[in-house]
Amino acid sequence: MANVSALVDRSTAVGAKPALTAVKLSMGLGGLALVLLMLLGLCMRLAQGGLLSMEPELFYEIMTAHGAGMVGIAALTGAGIMWFFLARHVQLTAAVYWLMLCCFLLGVALVLGAIFVGRFAGAWTFLYPLPAHSGGVWETGAAAVFLAGLLSIGTAFLLFYLETGRAIIARYGNLSQALAWPLLLRGSQDDAPPPAVVASAAVIVFNGIGIVVGAAVLAISLINLYAPSFTIDPLLAKNMIYFFGHVFINATIYMAVIAVYEIIPEYTGRPWKTSRTFAAAWSAIMLMVLAVYPHHLLQDTVMPGWALAIGQVVSYAAGLPVIVVTAFSLLVYLTRSGMRWDLASALLVTGVFGWTAGVMPAIVDAVIVVNRVMHNTLWVPGHFHFYLLIGEMAMAFGFMAWLTRADVPEGLPGASYWGFLAYLIGGTGVAVTFLIGGAMSVPRRWAVHVPEWFMQDRAAAFFALISIIGTIVLLGRYLARLAAAAKA
């Protein structure tokens, strides 16, 4: 503990840029892991397309690693962005970010060990009672290590939100101030918080709740593994798991979008201010994110009707507020000002529109009649690949490009132009082929496909390859520039 207090004291002395190294490291680690997991994704698509022979057991291990890993990457890069920009407005403690990173990496190690040593292949959603019923594929211990890994990752983000929440409260008094509720209710607020703070406060509230629920259901699942007679009501477990999972994955993009609010003004020269509409949108989203998850349960006919109705209505509505406010404001910015284009701004703008486009298939899927047919098809991966690849990760790469930008405007020269283009085309292709597969009623989570589906599997693999090339270019540029800066 003596060391901790020493760390703590030193970090406040840094003040303006707490844990900048850790943020850069997180983004780099996220990028590297992304490439590896994209390669795993490519393998899955090749296997489904009949171009690569793979045992189904291995397929499901890879699918579990791909899912858990991508959620982790999205969360880590989102957290890096939120931390970096929040530090401009409030005083954060670097030690907590390092602590978060350590807990996170410990969790990752456990998850990977559970999958590739313990052969756990129950998907990242660990849906009860699958972890406990492997049919002999994996031991109870492997499932337990996987769940413990997720718990460790959850703890990492709990610490992250506690510290960011503490710092916001220290600066703005309480979270309702930070959510700009006085502005929202009265039309004016002394010391109104900037968009980065509003967004952070909203994420802290809903993801804090999500993590507490997630920790509970993880602990319950762990106990059930070793005391199977303590059964869980499967419907309750599913509700808790999807509540946690959906809130958690939603949070990633709501953290990443902070990069847009903070960076784009540097390109347009006009500050992005918190307006009444902006505050209303974020408060609405804070509540909606909590209520939207039932669209994952529309096929559970035992769910009460009102819950499903809420799920449909809120899913419809949830996509709208922030997207409208963000995408619309961005459009206004873009048309009215001489926006400078470079890799960072191009990726950030892409992120906003990728996000907007990615929400559309989700809204379609949230319609009960469609959901009954579509939810177990590739349509759903289509939605979240769009949302995460062209939305969240585009924003993350935009942030990374901005972090390593040159002092002089450089436009979009050679390699980065082609890298960006490959990422955009490949990524969109990956998402769209999933959507086409969904429209063809190709089921999701099937290791083996029939030849009629090979065409779209192979097209998907092709686009995946392109997007991987693009990612490697973007990541290579980031790492090379970091190395160059370190040398200088």
Partner 1 sequence: MKKSGATAGFQAAAGAGVIVALMLPFSRGRLEATLVGHVLVQMPLLVLAGWLLGSALAEKLERVMEQWNRFGVAGFTFAIFVMLFWMVPRSVDTAIAHTGYEIFKFAGLPCAGAALALSFPRTIPLLAGALKAHFVSMLAVLAWLYTAAPVRLCNSYLASDQKMLGAGTALFACAFAIYWALGPLFGLPKPQPTIASGAAAAREAPGGARI
Partner 2 sequence: MLRTAAAALAIAGILGAVLWQGTSGLRAFTTEGLRRLSVMEQPRPLPNVRLIDMQGRELTLPDELGRAMVVEFIYTTCPTICVSLGESFAKLQDQIWMDGLADRIRLISISFDLARDGPEALSDYAQARGADGRLWIAVRPENDEALRALLTTFGVTVIPDGAGGFVHNAALHVVDRQGRLIAIFDIGEEPQVLAALRRQQ
Footprint of partner 1 on this chain (CB under 8 A)? Answer: 1, 5, 8-9, 11-12, 91, 93, 95-96, 155, 158-159, 162-163, 165-167, 169-177, 205, 208, 211-213, 215-216, 219-220, 223, 229-233
User: Which of 212/373 has CB closer to partner 1?
Assistant: 212
CA distance 434 to 41: 12
Residue 16 interacts with partner 2 (CB under 8 A): yes or no: no
Locus of tokens 């996220």: 30
Residue 159 binding partner per list partner 2, partner 1, none, with a CB distance cut-off of 5 to 8 Å that depends on partner kind = partner 1
In the complex, minimum distance from the CB of residue 205 to partner 1, in angstroms, rounded to a whole number:
7
Does position 5 interact with partner 2 (CB under 8 A)? The reply is yes
Q: Is 302 among the residues that bind partner 2 (CB under 8 A)?
A: no
Who contacts 14 (Cβ-Cβ below 8 Å, separation ≥6)? 94
By CB under 8 A, name the one of 1, 16, 450, 488 that touches partner 2.
1
Q: Determine if 441 is a binding residue for partner 2 (CB under 8 A).
A: no
| CA–CA gap between residue 413 and residue 415 (Å, rounded) | 6
Taking residue 304's Cβ as centre, other Cβ atoms within 10 Å add up to: 10
In a 10 Å sphere around its CB, with 0-12 CB exposed, 13-18 middle and 19+ buried, how is residue 455 labelled? middle
173 binds, among partner 2, partner 1, none (CB under 5 to 8 A by kind): partner 1
215 binds, among partner 1, partner 2, none (CB under 5 to 8 A by kind): partner 1
C-beta of 5 vs 12, nearer to partner 2: 5
**Length of the chain, please?**
488
- Kindly state the number of chain residues that form the binding site for partner 2, as judged by CB under 8 A: 3
CA–CA distance, 155 with 26 (Å, rounded to integer): 17
The first and second tokens of residue 99, run together, are 């602590």
Nearer to partner 2, 209 or 225 (CB): 225
**Chosen from partner 1, partner 2, none, partner binding at 225 (C-beta under 5 to 8 Å by type):** none
**CA–CA separation, 42 and 388 (whole Å):** 16
Hey, what are 393's tokens?
A: 């990760």
CA distance 65 to 58: 10
Kindly write out the interface string for residues 343-382 of this chain, putting x where it contacts partner 2 by CB under 8 A and - elsewhere. ----------------------------------------
Q: Using an 8 Å Cβ cutoff, are 241 and 211 in contact?
A: no
Instruction: Report the residue number, 2 or 408, with the smaller CB distance to partner 2.
Output: 2
| Nearest approach, Cβ of residue 212 and partner 1 (Å) | 5
- 95 binds, options partner 2, partner 1, none, Cβ within 5 to 8 A by partner type: partner 1
Taking CB under 8 A as the rule, does residue 12 contact partner 2?
A: no
- Name the residue nearer to partner 1 (CB basis): 216 or 373: 216
Q: Cα(325)–Cα(311) distance, rounded to whole angstroms?
A: 22
Which of partner 2, partner 1, none does residue 220 bind (CB under 5 to 8 Å by kind)? partner 1
CB of 3 or CB of 53, closer to partner 2: 3
- Residue 167's closest CA among 399, 5, 12, 1? 12
**CA distances, 412 to each of 70, 259, 342, 343, 469 (Å):** 28, 19, 5, 6, 17
Cα–Cα distance for residue pair 40/44, rounded to 1 Å? 6
Both structure tokens of 145: 């290590």
Nearest to 111, CA basis, from 59, 64, 170: 64
Report residue 327 as tokens.
Answer: 């995408």
233 binds, among partner 1, partner 2, none (CB under 5 to 8 A by kind): partner 1
> 159 Cβ partners below 8 Å, 6+ apart?
96, 99, 100, 103
Q: Which stretch binds partner 2 (CB under 8 A): 1-9, 247-255, 383-391, 444-452?
A: 1-9
Nearest to 154 by CA among 61, 81, 240, 225: 240
Cβ proximity of 76 and 22 under 8 Å? no
Nearer to partner 1, 107 or 165 (CB): 165
CB distance 114 to 53 below 8 Å? no
Q: Using CB distances below 5 to 8 A depending on partner kind, what does residue 21 bind out of partner 1, partner 2, none?
A: none
CB of 321 to partner 1, least distance (A): 20
- By beta-carbon proximity to partner 2, the closer residue of 2 and 16 is 2
CA distance 198 to 196: 6
Shortest distance, position 18 Cβ to partner 2, whole Å? 23
Q: Which is nearer to partner 1, 70 or 175 (CB)?
A: 175
Task: Select from partner 2, partner 1, none the partner in contact with residue 165, using the beta carbon and a kind-dependent cut-off of 5 to 8 Å.
Answer: partner 1
The identity of residue 300, as a single letter, is D
Q: How far is the CB of 5 from partner 2 (least distance, A)?
A: 7
Whether cis (ω within 30° of 0) applies to the bond prior to 265 is no
Q: Of partner 1, partner 2, none, which one sits near residue 40, judging by CB under 5 to 8 A according to partner kind?
A: none
The site partner of 212 among partner 1, partner 2, none (C-beta below 5 to 8 Å per kind) is partner 1
| Tokens representing residue 103 in the block | 């807990």
Nearer of residues 224 and 356 to partner 1, judged by Cβ: 224
> Where on the chain is the footprint of partner 2 (CB under 8 A)?
1-2, 5
